[in-house]
Amino acid sequence: MRSCYCFLSAVLVIALAFWAYRENYETQAAQARAIEVQQEIATARTRLRVLNAEWAYLNRPDRLRDLAEINFDRLGLLTLQPHQFGKISDVVYPLQPVQLTESFDIMEREQLP
């Protein structure tokens, strides 16, 4: 009986030791990963700041105005004018959806000589 106890406690000690060993290394690995992730976050934040700054720089009003002037032929952008405000009553109701079959008919008819 005594030897049985001895044996069991020895097994228990080994099992606990193994568990503690594993926990220790898992914790260390987790810490290392956390540090890595934090470094990644820091790098990402730096990058984000640079990108935000670049976005702000590219969208600065002076540049947008120059671009609007250069591309006036294609875009026709003007500064916001008071008469561009619309009224809700000016908005038309959506048109009745055209029946698909009808439109096919029209298309077919148009294709006829």
Partner 1 sequence: MIRKPLRPLASILRAREAGENPDEIERENIRARHEEMRDDARLRAESRLLILTVLFLFGFGVIGGRMGVLAQSEPSEPRADAAGAEIIAQRADIVDRQGRILATNFETHSLYAQPRQMVEPERTAEALVEIFPDLDVKRLKKDFTGKRKFLWVKKQLSPEQRQAVHDIGEPGLLFGPREMRLYPNGRLAAHVLGGSSFGREGVHAAEVIGVAGVEKYFDNRLRDPAEGHQPLTLSLDLSVQSAMERVLKGGMVLMNAKGAAAVLMDVHTGEVIALASLPDFDPNERPNPLVKGNPADSPLFNRAVQGVYELGSVFKPFTVAQALELNLVNPTTELDTKGPMRWGKYKIRDYRDNGPSLSVTDVLVKSSNIGTARMALMIGAPRQKQFLERFGFFKPTSLEIVEATGGAPLLPSKWSELSTMTISYGHGLSLSPLHIAAGFATLANGGHLVKPTLLRVPRHQQGPRVVSERAAEKTMKMMREVVAQGTATMARVEGYEIAGKTGTADKPKPSGGGYYKDKVISTFASVFPANDPQYVLVVALDEPVETSGSEPRRTAGWTAVPVSSEITRRVAPLLGLRPKIERKEIEAITLSAN
Task: Retrieve residue 81's tokens.
Answer: 């004018």
Residue closer to partner 1, measured from CB, 4 or 78: 78
When asked if residue 101 is in the footprint of partner 1 (CB under 8 A), the reply is no
Residue closer to partner 1, measured from CB, 11 or 29: 29
Stretch that binds partner 1, among 4-12, 30-38, 68-76, 105-113 (CB under 8 A): 30-38
Residue type, 29: A
Rounded Cα distance between 57 and 104, Å, is 50
Residue type, 88: I
Q: Where are the alpha helices (DSSP H) in 71-111?
A: 72-75, 100-111
For CA atoms 85, 90, 93, 96, the dihedral sign is negative
| Minimum separation from the CB atom of position 85 to partner 1 (A) | 5
State the residues that interact with partner 1 by CB under 8 A: 30-31, 34-35, 38, 41-42, 45-46, 49-50, 52-53, 55-57, 59-62, 65, 79-87, 90, 92, 94-95, 97-98
